[in-house]
């Protein structure tokens, strides 16, 4: 229970810290996912250009 301002500040700090941690975790996940998708797309197009070059020679 919140009995005084110290308890409120402790609970508020805990909630803000947890929300910040969730935000950081989410942003790292998004960056890793975007990088992985870029790598897959790059590999896909690289294989496509390699195959088309070998067919013509």
Number of residues written out for the chain: 57
Do residues 19 and 25 touch, judged by C-beta distance below 8 A? no
More confident residue, 8 or 56: 8
**pTM given for the model:** 0.64
Summarize pLDDT for 2-14 with one digit per residue, the tens.
Answer: 789 999 999 999 9
Q: If pLDDT is split at 50, 70 and 90, which confidence band does 51 have?
A: low
Over residues 14-36, the mean pLDDT reads 97
Q: Mention every residue, 6+ apart, whose C-beta is less than 8 A from residue 2.
A: 8, 11
* Mean pLDDT, range 27-53, rounded to an integer: 84
The pLDDT value recorded for residue 50 is 56
Residue pair 12/20 in contact (Cβ under 8 Å)? The answer is no
2 within 8 A of 11, measured Cβ to Cβ: yes
């Amino acid at each position: 229970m919140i009995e005084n301002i110290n308890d409120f500040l402790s609970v508020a700090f805990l909630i803000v810290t947890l929300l910040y941690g969730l935000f950081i975790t989410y942003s790292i996940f998004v960056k890793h996912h975007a990088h992985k998708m870029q790598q897959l797309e790059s590999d896909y197009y690289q294989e496509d250009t390699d195959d088309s070059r070998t067919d013509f020679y």
